Amino acid sequence: MTRSASSHELVVSFRDVQKSYGDVVALDGVNLNVTRSEVVALIGSSGSGKTTVLRSLIGLTDITGGCIEVHGEVVADAREGSPPVNERRAAEIRRTRLGMVFQSFNLFPHRTVLQNVIEGPVYAGGMPRDEAVARARALLERVDMLSKQDRYPSELSGGQQQRVAIARALAMQPDVVLFDEVTSALDPELTGEVLAVMNDLASEGQTMLVVTHEIGFARRVATRVVYMDHGKIVEEGTPAAVIDAPAKDRTKRFLSSVLRFGTD
């Protein structure tokens, strides 16, 4: 069932954001707002700019035009004549207000599950270790991984590693969690495990920005669906509007292709 946003508090704002790699345009004037408790699903073909949106928000990619704000504070600005961004403050905002779950898990292989989850709060957030451990165990129980707290990533399945990665992202209590194609490397059974956790987070009001090829998940869980193509937002709206009754021909062609090959 599709949720509706419970608040209009603006959390993330992209204003005419552009990103180019030489002659290749990855983002072409992206304007996107995310409000508290929304689940925004970004869909589109490979290379459409979806992941670049997340990477530019989290600071892994520098933008070449426009600006990005989190809770009204500028974290990236490439507008001509704008004052320089306070990079220390921008890094702090990203570290404390944004969490990201990657496609490839990115867990520390030499640390146990528990150690992976407490890493951020203890070393980046300055949290006392006992408090961080208590929080980590609660989060691991939430994603059904507490029994694996002393295991190493190599001893876990892909779905288990991804659930640990979600717990790690939540450990810093971020305002927004970013998910970048987190099920693309998993088989169907493990995909279901991860999507169930994400569905639970959504139902609890966690603000989420999700790059996904799981159209069924976007239809069921997203508050809003954004279809991107060639670095532009082509169409956005409720799942019912964008997925079930798209207005743009490009959106129709994409969905027809995706659903024909059974990736729903």
Q: Residue 73 and residue 235: Cα distance in Å, rounded?
A: 27
In this model, does residue 36 exceed pLDDT 80?
A: yes
In this model, does residue 260 exceed pLDDT 80?
A: no
Per the CB < 8 A criterion, the answer to whether 66 and 232 are in contact is no
Whole-angstrom Cα Rg for the chain = 18
Scan for tokens 């239809």, then name that residue: 219
pLDDT bucket at 220, cuts 50 / 70 / 90? very high
In this model, does residue 263 exceed pLDDT 70?
A: no
Rounded mean pLDDT of 199-225?
95
The pLDDT of residue 188? 83
Averaged confidence pLDDT in the chain: 92
Q: Is 205 exposed, middle or buried (0-12, 13-18, 19+ CB in 10 A)?
A: middle
The model's pTM: 0.91
Q: Which residues of 71-102 are buried (b: 16+ CB within 10 A; e: fewer)?
A: eeebbbbbeeeeeebeeeebeebbbbbbbbbb
